Each structure stands twice: as C-alpha cells, then as structure tokens.
Amino acid sequence: MNKNTTPKPASGQDAAAYYQPLFAPKTVAIVGASSSKEIIGNTFLRRIKDYGFKGDIYPIHPKADEINGFKAYPSLAETPKPVDYCYIAVGAAQVPDLVESGQGRIKFAHVISSGFGEVSEGVALQNQLVETAHKNNCRIIGPNSLGLYSPRGGITFVEESSKELGPVGIISQSGGLGTDIVARGQRRGVRFSGLVSVGNCADIGPTELLDFYLADPETKVIGAYLEQVKEGRKFFETLKASQGSKPVVILKGGRTEQGSRAAASHTGALAGNEQVWLALSKQTGCILADTLDEFLDILLAFQNLEPRTDRPSDRITLFGNGGGTSVLASDFYARRGLSIPPFDSKTVDALRALQLPPGTSIDNPVDAPVGTLRQEEGAIAEKIMDAVYAHSKPDALVMHLNMAAFRGRTPPSVMENLLQAAFRIQEKYPGQAHFLLALRSEGDPETEEIKRRFRKIALESNVPVFDELSNAAVALAALKFYETFKRDHVKA
C-alpha cells in the first residue's frame, strides 16, 4: 500500500471497470452487526443472504466468533481476502479508525452512520474520514447513507426488492427516498441496474456515479434524486459531453428557497437555484421531474420506449372509454405541449366505414364505450387502431381503459383481447408510434388485482403502463423534450 496515493476518480469508459467491485462485489464486510441482538448491520447481512449474494461475507466483530451463521473476524485487516464492499454502521467517531484498520484492503466503504457533515460538529470528522480513506486507497460512499441496491451483484438494502437486472440506474441523496424509488418503481414495472444511496457525498458523489452509468452497458436510462452537487461545473460538463447519449432524469430537491433550507438541514449543504437547473436542462437535455410519481413515470417510459431523433413525439391520439376523461386529458396534454389534432378526412372515413355503435367518437380522442370495445370480443380495437395508424400516423397512441366500467359487464378475456389487439398493431407498424397504456381503477381490491395482471402482460410486451392519462402525458412530454434535444443539438 502506498500511503501517499489518493485514489483517482474514474471517468469515461474507465468508470465501468472502476466501479465493478462496488456493483458486483466478490467480498463484503459488515461492521456493525451484533452477536446477541438484531441491529442495522444484522439486518443488512440477512437481506443480502436472503437476496442471494454469491460472494464471501465477513462480519467484523472484536469478540464474536460467529454472527448470523457467518464466521466473524476481529478486524478488517484479518479477513481472508481483501474487501470489495464494506458496509459500516457504527458510531461516527469510530469510523475513521475502522477504515484505517483495513490497511489498504478495502476498495469501497459505504458509511451508513450519521453525525458527519450534515451537522456542524461533524464536518471535521467527515474531512478526517475522507483523508484517512484516500491515504489507504479506499473510496467512501456516504456517510449518512442507507446502502446499495445492485441486482447484478446480489446486494440490497431494500426489503423485497426485485432480483431482475434492469436498465434504470439511480443515484439518490436520500436513503429513504431511494427505498421509495425501488419499492414504488418496481410496482410500476421499473427495473433497476443499480441504486446508490450517496448521503453526504463526502467523497464519491453524483458526478462520478453519472460517469459510471453513462459507461455502464447495463444502464439505458439514468435517474437522480439530488439535493446538492458540490462539483457543479464538472457535473454540467459531464452531462454536456454525453450529448444526451442516455436520458438523464433529475428529481431535484431544494430548487426553491424553502426547499433549499430543507436540503441544507438534511445533507448539510446548500442546494442550487431554480433557474440554474432549468438552464442545465435546456443546455444538456436532462429532464427535470417535480414529484416522485413524475420521476418514476418518466423512467418507466424511457425504460420501455425507444426515443426517436427524427420525429419528436408531438401528435398524440387518445383511444379508450371515458368521454369526460378524454376532455380533461386534452387540456392536460395541451398544457404539457402535446398536440391531440383532429383526424383528417381519410382517417374519419376509415373509422366511419367500421360502422361502430352509436355513442362512439370517430375523431381524436376516440371515445369508445364499453359496448363498443367488447364488439368482436375486443378485436374491434385492432380495426380502430389500424385505421388510425394507416391514415393519421400519430407519433404516439395512448390507450386508456376505465377498468371499473368493464367489471360485471365484460369477461376479463375481452380486456386481454384489447391488449393483444394493440400489440399486434405495434408489430404491424413497427416504430411508427409510441404505444402507452393507462389502466384506470377506482382502487377496489378485485379491480386492482386484475390491473396487476394486465400490467404484467403489457410490460412483458415492453409497453409502459400508467395509472391515469395525465401520468402518460408527463412521460410523453419528457420523451418529446429529449427527442427534440437530440434532434436539434446532437450532430449526426
């Protein structure tokens, strides 16, 4: 070990290899597990064991021989192999010495403990921790963090997290919100390549992890919950240099004066100004979300849809049951800069030729009551969409189904036929229009269970599913913004 070497952050393509021991560690040490009671270290140990971590696990304890069935070691210097990922959850004052005791054998130390830079009396201790880590060729994540979720590595700090490796990479400056992102995201169908809870960002921060996700072949879209970015210029330059190579969605806390005060008390640093982040979005193509729901809906859209740079998604067709819903949606889409144009005469003539039942609108939005949608056991939807795709050629079509209106009047097979009809149209007109599905429910258990089943069917066909037409509008507006940026700013 060279005591005078400070680890050099990786950037560009080197970042993928640099962070491999973090996202797919072969050895994990846990400092802060008890031999006699259940504390946070024991919980993490149990979670990665149950999750299926395949590598070596080393509980660190000065006296215990065994913890939760695993052989314990007195110090980080005495583990059989060097440690790729070290989870530390002990009193803040002990942490620098613990890192020092590793004697250069720890690659990444994730410090869960609080009491560092988020409080004035802990700033000096945080600086000492980073200095000690760098002196020992170790990188620090946190402190004041919650953990790491990496399906590829068999690591999770979130209970009941999916084992499926997905394309969405997350950086979160809040551990609790990181938990929400995983739990709520996977219920929507979002699948993750990884999530790092970075806490105070004393050492590794958003810019370095952004570099990793940009280089990571498993990651297709990047999401970040940020409260402060210490290296603002470098973060901007990294986004700018990427030229929108991957969509980056940012949920920024502290964009207003009130939010900035809250962020300062949470992470111990000041947050940026609203106009700065709007300018960042305009210049780099990153997408700003205002709420957690928006953030997740946008990530889902980018996960399942392929952005088009030649034809941004502006002209939208709405098709489903619910006239009033379509009227409200038309207003909402307009406010989001999305057009729902009336059909031309060829499209109207093609729809009129279908001789649809009375009460069916043959303009855009296409309002089709349940009585219409159950014609031909749901296969009528294929004829309607075929006419729209062939003549109107929309940039996107959103099918919305008020599921409560079907209950008791129509067997579930009809709804499944409606979905299958939509999938067949997508295959017939590949790449012509983004297809999104809104499954609306009033929330009763029976309907929610049917909704879960149909959501799964749709996701298996790479169709994003939203709870309301407004959610789909948010996702489409983000998609349009990114597609427009790519068209206008990125050289062919």
Q: What is the chain's length?
A: 492
Q: What is the dihedral sign for C-alpha 146, 191, 19, 104?
A: positive
Question: Residue 153 sits in which domain range?
Answer: 148-304
Q: Is the pLDDT of residue 254 over 70?
A: no
Q: 364 by DSSP, 3-state: which?
A: coil
pLDDT per residue as tens digits for the range 372-424: 999 998 889 999 999 999 999 999 999 999 988 887 777 878 889 999 999 99
Contact assessment for residue 234 and residue 480, using Cβ atoms and an 8 Å cutoff: no
**339 and 449 part of one domain:** yes
At residue 12, the pLDDT reads 66
**361 and 435 part of one domain:** yes
β-strand partners of 27? 56
At residue 257, the pLDDT reads 58
> What average pLDDT does range 318-322 have in this prediction?
93
At residue 251, the pLDDT reads 97
Task: Write the CATH number for 106.
Answer: 3.40.50.720
> What average pLDDT does range 153-167 have in this prediction?
96
The DSSP output letter for 10 is: P
pLDDT-based confidence at residue 472 (cuts at 50, 70, 90) = very high
Contact assessment for residue 369 and residue 359, using Cβ atoms and an 8 Å cutoff: yes
**230 and 329 part of one domain:** no
DSSP 118-130: TSGGGHHHHHHHH
**366 and 472 part of one domain:** yes
β-strand partners of 251? 225, 289
311 within some domain: no
Find the angle CA(65)-CA(69)-CA(75) to the nearest 5 degrees: 40
The DSSP output letter for 217 is: T
65 CA to centre of own chain:
40
| pTM listed for this prediction | 0.93
Q: Provide the greatest CA pair distance for the chain.
A: 82
425 within some domain: yes
- The reply to whether omega before 358 is within 30° of 0 (cis) is no
Of 273, 304, 335, which residue sits at a domain end? 304
397 within some domain: yes
**136 and 162 part of one domain:** no
Residue 427 to residue 140: CA distance in whole angstroms: 48
**128 and 183 part of one domain:** no
Within 323-389, residue ranges assigned H as helices are 323-335, 345-352, 370-373, 380-387
**360 and 484 part of one domain:** yes
Sheet (strand 396-402) strand order: 366-367, 316-320, 396-402, 434-440, 465-466
- The two structure tokens encoding residue 65: 């021989």
pLDDT-based confidence at residue 490 (cuts at 50, 70, 90) = confident
**352 and 475 part of one domain:** yes
406 within some domain: yes
At residue 157, the pLDDT reads 96
6 within some domain: no
Other CB atoms within 10 A of residue 403 CB: 21
Task: Write the CATH number for 402.
Answer: 3.40.50.261
Of 278, 304, 330, which residue sits at a domain end? 304
221 within some domain: yes
**327 and 252 part of one domain:** no
At residue 446, the pLDDT reads 87
Q: How far is CA 182 from CA 109, 162, 193, in A?
A: 22, 9, 11
Contact assessment for residue 5 and residue 137, using Cβ atoms and an 8 Å cutoff: yes
Q: Is the pLDDT of residue 300 over 50?
A: yes
Within 20-122, residue ranges assigned H as helices are 20-23, 40-51, 95-101
Residue 216 to residue 488: CA distance in whole angstroms: 26
5 conformational bin, left if phi > 0, alpha if psi -120 to 50, beta if neither:
beta
- The two structure tokens encoding residue 395: 């940039």
**72 and 205 part of one domain:** no
Residue with tokens 């140990």: 45
Other CB atoms within 10 A of residue 297 CB: 28
**171 and 279 part of one domain:** yes
Reported as type and span, the H/E element at residue 100 is helix 95-101
> What average pLDDT does range 200-214 have in this prediction?
96
User: Where do the DSSP E strands lie in 53-180?
Assistant: 56-60, 66-67, 70-71, 83-88, 106-111, 139-141, 148-149, 168-172
**364 and 232 part of one domain:** no
Pairing of strands 139-141, 66-67: unpaired
- The two structure tokens encoding residue 174: 């809040």
Q: Is the pLDDT of residue 200 over 60?
A: yes
439 within some domain: yes
9 within some domain: no
Look at the chain and report how many structural domains it folds into: 3
Of 96, 123, 141, which residue sits at a domain end? 141
